[in-house]
Amino acid sequence: MLSTMGLVFFICMFLGVPIAFCLGITAAVSLLILDMPLRVVAQRIFTGIDSFPLMAVPFFVLAGDLMNVGGTTIRLVRFANALVGWIRGGLAHTTIVSSMFLSGISGSAVADASAIGGILIPGMNKEGYDVDFSAAVVASASTMGPIIPPSILMVIYGVTTGVSIGALFAAGFVPGVIIGGCLMAVAYGIARKRNYPKLKRMSFAEFIAAFREAIFALIAPVIILGGILLGVFTPTEAAVVAVAYAFFVGVFIFRELRMAEIPQILVQSGITTSILLLVIGTANILAWVLSAEQIPQKIAEMMLGVSKDPYFILFLINLFLLVVGMFMEGGAAIIILAPVLAQVAQAVGLHPLHFGFVMVLNLTLGLLTPPLGVCLFVACGIARISLETLVKAIYPFLIVEIGVLFLCSYLPAVVLWIPRLVGYV
């Protein structure tokens, strides 16, 4: 059964079938082989998305779209430029810091890559940066979107396994900052080697002016995350608050969001959300088929039969997930694999929150690895370069992110420090 499912899935992938339909077709074929009624497909899709916490997904998507159109993104970029633009390779550092700020609002790597890339890739090219470097910086920095909270992938993991979504959000702070710092170090090294320009350091008055312009944009993640961590509202309610705040600031403070643009924004957010939820729904069918055949239990027994050393098991899981991320969308991979791998992790004594965050971080790196690396395609489209060119340029950034992955894997304190501080652990 498992070999048949794998064969059908990879044939669909090879033919260029969208990932949601790859999962659905594979599940449907499996149901036919097992002589089960195909109405299970509709039932499991509905069951997979019929969840209150998952309502956070469309609201975070909508909040991000409202803020992009409403002027939040450009103000965050200007403030990031005031902070780090004077360092060698200034616009690259501006890109990374802007992505860190925007990560606290959107929760999506693809949204960050599109918003930041559309502004800064042309800007870097104009200043004499190599186009492959510009695209690599944007793509690699965008992966902080699902790591620095809020995070759509963390919502999906929490719904799938029962781990606190608020705790997962808290776990992302320190690793997200470490990733940002490491990416800046790599960008600085390349910038010095290639003699990329730096911008003139702003005066104190100019810095204050940039801060004042961005203050309402900077308050957004404070409201979203502060409310969750202080227990004022749930992650789902926080997403609704984010939408209300984005609308208010865009219309009444920045005055760049026009009422005539709202229908188009709603349609675009609806399309993005429908794609995500369709992937989640079809992945739920496949997960149900696998559970019915007791495949998760067999995989768990096989892994535990190899070793019960937590460090070695974590190493094997990380290697496995790095490969999975190359071929499967992160949300789908979480729904299918998280129940299995979380069971293995618990059996060898790994903390559920620590393991959950490591899994999310690992699958996020799949956004930078072909053939499915979505952020690579977004950056290629904006920069108008080939995928092969970008893959070569992104290796230094990907290597340091994998290094942070193993740091978080083998030093749980990096992940658990903030959750312990706020009482989640």
Q: pLDDT tens across 122-136, in order? A: 888 888 899 999 999
Task: Inform me whether the pLDDT recorded for 294 exceeds 80.
Answer: no
Residue 142, pLDDT > 80, answer: yes
Rounded distance, CA 89 to CA 389, Å?
A: 20
In 188-244 the beta strands, taken as DSSP E runs, fall at none
With pLDDT > 90 as the criterion, what percentage of the chain qualifies? 36
Distance (Å, whole) CA 136 – CA 380: 9
Greatest mean pLDDT range, 15-24, 26-35, 146-155, 173-182: 173-182
Least confident window among 158-162, 220-224, 419-423 = 220-224
The answer on pLDDT for 314 being more than 80 is: yes
How far is residue 250 CA from its own chain's centroid? 24
The answer, yes or no, to whether residue 16 has pLDDT greater than 90, is no
What mean pLDDT do residues 256-278 have? 89
413 — pLDDT class (breaks 50, 70, 90): very high
State residue 192's pLDDT score. 93
Q: Tell me, what amino acid is at 105?
A: I
Q: Into how many domains does the chain fold? A: 1
The residue-averaged pLDDT of 199-221 equals: 87
> For residue 364, is pLDDT > 70?
yes
Tokens of 284: 């739920």
Mean of the pLDDT values across residues 171-195?
Answer: 94
Report the pLDDT value the prediction gives residue 398, as an integer from 0 to 100. 94
Which residue, 2, 38, 70, 44, is CA-closest to 265? 70
Whether the bond into 371 is cis, omega within 30 of 0: yes
pLDDT band at 407 (very low <50, low <70, confident <90, very high): very high
- pLDDT, average across residues 374-403: 90
pLDDT digits (tens, 9 = 90+) for 61-89: 888 888 888 888 888 888 998 999 899 99
pLDDT-based confidence at residue 275 (cuts at 50, 70, 90): confident
For the chain, first and last CA: distance in Å?
Answer: 40
Confidence of residue 189 (pLDDT cuts 50, 70, 90): very high
The span from the CA of 291 to the CA of 68, in Å, is: 41
Range 13-21, long-range pairs (CB < 8 A, 24+ positions): 13/327, 19/279, 19/328, 19/329, 19/332, 19/372, 20/275, 20/278, 20/279, 20/281, 20/282, 20/332, 21/282
Q: Which of 252, 246, 12, 286 minimizes the C-alpha distance to 111?
A: 246
Of 169 and 53, the structure prediction assigns the larger pLDDT to: 169
Name the more confident of 13 and 142.
142
Q: What percent of the chain has pLDDT over 70?
A: 100
pLDDT score of 97 more than 90: yes
Label residues 105-128 b or e (16+ Cβ within 10 Å = b): bbbbbbbbbbbbbebbbeebbeee
Position 288 confidence tier, pLDDT thresholds 50, 70, 90:
confident
User: Where in the sequence is the domain holding 118, given as residue range(s)?
Assistant: 2-421
Give the number of other Cβ atoms within 10 Å of residue 167's Cβ.
24
Mean pLDDT of the chain: 88
Confidence at residue 2, expressed as pLDDT on a 0 to 100 scale? 67
How far is 362 from 296, CA to CA, in rounded Å? Answer: 20
Residue 160 pLDDT > 70, yes or no?
yes
Helix, strand and coil content of the chain, in percent to the nearest 5, comes to: 80, 0, 20
| Confidence label for 182 from pLDDT (cuts 50, 70 and 90) | very high
With contact defined as beta carbons under 8 Å apart, do 196 and 89 qualify? yes
Q: What mean pLDDT is predicted for residues 254-277?
A: 89
* Residue 202 DSSP symbol: P
Write down the pLDDT at residue 387: 84
| pLDDT, mean of residues 92-120 | 86
Out of 16-20, 62-66, 414-418, pick the least confident. Answer: 16-20
Is residue 38 a contact partner of residue 28, using CB atoms and an 8 Å limit?
yes
**Nearest residue to 383 (alpha-carbon basis) of 116, 184, 180, 73:** 116
What number of H helices and E strands is found in the chain? 21, 0
- 315 pLDDT exceeds 90? yes
Q: What number is the average pLDDT over the span 218-237?
A: 83
Mean pLDDT of the 194-220 span: 88
Q: What is the pLDDT averaged over residues 25-38?
A: 85
**How much is the pLDDT for 1?**
65
